[in-house]
Amino acid sequence: MNADREKWILLIILSIIWGSSFILIKKSLEHFNPYQVGALRVLIAGIILMPIAISKRKLFPKKHLKWLLLAAVTGNFIPMFLFPIAETEVSSSIAGIINSMMPIFVIIVGALIWKFQTTKTQIFGTLISFTGVCLLAFGGGDGGEFKLIPILLLLLATFCYAVSTTTVKSKLMEVSSTVLSAFVFSFVLFFPSLIALSFTGFFSTFTFSKDTLLGLMFVSLLSVFGTGLAMMMNYRLLKVSSPLFASTVTLLMPIVAIIWGFLDGEKLTPLQFVGAGIILAGLIFLRTKPNVIKK
């Protein structure tokens, strides 16, 4: 399969998988607290990928260890906690919409850290989308309630994703996507997530009840598909495209997230619909050529 066709197939599949992650987080929060959801999400992915990590241990990129740590912590650890915490205050639909800011952060991080080039049109698109985020923050989903803190948490998580994406593209492209995912979750993040889970009191309060097992099912789906499999596909997408193209998976994710939210009874205010539309309009400018490239 040629690279151009492969990147579009990966983009569509990732949009569906990651767009469904927000409703799975919401359902997981009905059974566990946000810290348990985040820790379990990483831990289960590490357990699933452990056989690959062990069998490929000789391929561990020791010379790029610092970049592997940076990509793992910013892309696969911190956001796993920030999203559940934020979704205790905002809907899964809004979480999906805010995550569409990722291409903007890719441009900002790429320009400041990795010296990527950007265009004036892309900068203009950044300002447009930021206006949309402000409308979402002030739009009020429940009686005009102000939701600045969860919006900021979601923006921080999205910024972390951008740091991870640009780091992988710049420093870790020689490592295969499958092996990279296995190392991240099994070698780098397994014990930190285990320690974090123990501090939540999960092991002392765990029981094999119907409620707990149902919660584990939602978290497992989130972990296996939304974390382990999706990250493999995302790393592969980065290999066959640019960081900016890979980040535009977030253009389609809000559509999937909103559909799931609507089916689950969620509603957006008219002002938040306007904000979501402005974000997507701004992101259109980010797709203009030239794409993000190194100087």
Q: Across residues 149-175, what is the average pLDDT?
A: 91
Reported as a single tens digit per residue, the pLDDT across 73-114 is: 999 999 999 999 999 998 888 888 888 888 888 888 888 887
Q: Does 243 sit behind a cis peptide bond, omega within 30 degrees of 0 on the bond before it?
A: no
Cβ atoms 219, 44 nearer than 8 A: yes
Rounded-to-integer distance, Cα 97 and Cα 237, Å: 21
Cβ atoms 237, 165 nearer than 8 A: no
Rounded-to-integer distance, Cα 218 and Cα 222, Å: 6
267: amino acid identity, one letter: K
Rounded-to-integer distance, Cα 83 and Cα 138, Å: 19
Higher pLDDT, 89 or 287: 89
Q: Which residue has 């080039």 as its token pair?
A: 117
Reported as a single tens digit per residue, the pLDDT across 52-64 is: 999 998 888 888 8
pTM of the predicted structure, to 2 decimals: 0.84
- Banded model confidence at residue 140, pLDDT cuts 50, 70, 90: low
Rounded-to-integer distance, Cα 184 and Cα 181, Å: 5
Residues in CB range of 288: below 8 A, 6 or more apart: 119, 121, 122, 125
CA angle 229, 37, 94 (to 5 degrees): 80
Rounded-to-integer distance, Cα 164 and Cα 79, Å: 11
